[in-house]
Amino acid sequence: MATQTLSHCYEEIIEWCWASEHELITNPHWTSCYLIDGLLIDTGAPGGVEDFRKFVNSLGTQKIQACILTHTHEDHAGGAHMLQNEFNVPIYASEKAIPILKTGYTYPEYRQVVWGEDGVLPVDVKLLPNPISSMSGKYTFHIIPIPGHAPEQVALIEKQQEWVFVSDGIQTKYKRIFGKTSNIQEDISQIYQSIRTLNQFTEGMMDLTLFLPGGKLFGKDLISEKLEELWNLRQEVQELNSQGNSVDEIVRKIFGEQDIFALFTHGELSKKNLILSIISWINN
């Protein structure tokens, strides 16, 4: 397992990152949690619980006053059960996330390889207030629904500091998405709309910092770049579609032949899912 603890913004933000180091995974796939003045955003993956416990212990007592889950995916909600049961930390999430987190769930083997085998254990989760203040009242986070990657997903924005926590709400490159038979059904038109919402909400924030998993920090430009990338992709698919190309031909012409992820995930995470989602975006 790989872990790293980073600090950002004059040590006001502690980021704890975790990735599994399974032999099948060539590049570490990081998940991150952030601690800001007593508020913890996300909890890592089920496979990282032991390391996460060490991290929480290293902070000393009373350091985490509350925890917010951005969405229910295992790499963000995986440590919530432990945090609640061993450290008595209240867990908050959006309305749509609550029933999923209260029952917990398991996930397929290819995701167990990356995020651990234990599944997401049930958590007694409370409705996330909007806005929510940090422990000393120093920071206030506005909650913005950003569906698309997950229907229940939210972003947290601290307007004064111009901090934006999007977790998986923005990907650095759109090449493939979850779909087919997966319990994760990503929707590219919703992802696009959610990035537009973020763009509107952050208008005029020239020093904006976007926090993406794995210690990746970006400025405001990433938002407009992603809008452009997705719109261009839509145009490209639309053109190939109107020329009578099949879905497979469109996939091949845009992204090339190989899709190792599609093989590994039985088509649940694939380039084809992305093209199919763009086609239904065009048709709606």
Q: Given the rule CB under 5 A, which residues bind Zn ion?
A: 73, 168
In the Cβ-directed half-sphere of 32, how many Cα atoms lie within 13 Å? Answer: 20
For residue 246, the minimal CB distance to Zn ion (Å) is 30
User: Which of 48, 87, 53 lies closest to 67 in space, CA to CA?
Assistant: 87
For residue 28, the minimal CB distance to Zn ion (Å) is 16
For residue 149, the minimal CB distance to Zn ion (Å) is 6
Q: What 3-state class would DSSP assign to 167?
A: helix
Nearer to Zn ion, 81 or 149 (CB): 149
How many whole angstroms separate alpha carbon 195 and alpha carbon 283?
20
How many whole angstroms separate alpha carbon 229 and alpha carbon 215?
23
For residue 131, the minimal CB distance to Zn ion (Å) is 23
How many whole angstroms separate alpha carbon 40 and alpha carbon 43?
8
For residue 31, the minimal CB distance to Zn ion (Å) is 9
CB 107 within 8 A of CB 83: no
Residue 258 burial class via C-beta count within 10 angstroms: exposed 0-12, middle 13-18, buried 19 and up: exposed
Nearer to Zn ion, 75 or 259 (CB): 75
Nearer to Zn ion, 73 or 226 (CB): 73
For residue 168, the minimal CB distance to Zn ion (Å) is 4
Parallel, antiparallel, or unpaired for β 31-36 and 39-41?
A: antiparallel
Nearer to Zn ion, 212 or 279 (CB): 212
Looking at beta carbons, which residue is closest to Zn ion?
A: 73
User: Which of 119, 112, 143, 116 lies closest to 130 in space, CA to CA?
Assistant: 143
Nearer to Zn ion, 73 or 81 (CB): 73
Nearer to Zn ion, 152 or 259 (CB): 152
CB 79 within 8 A of CB 57: no
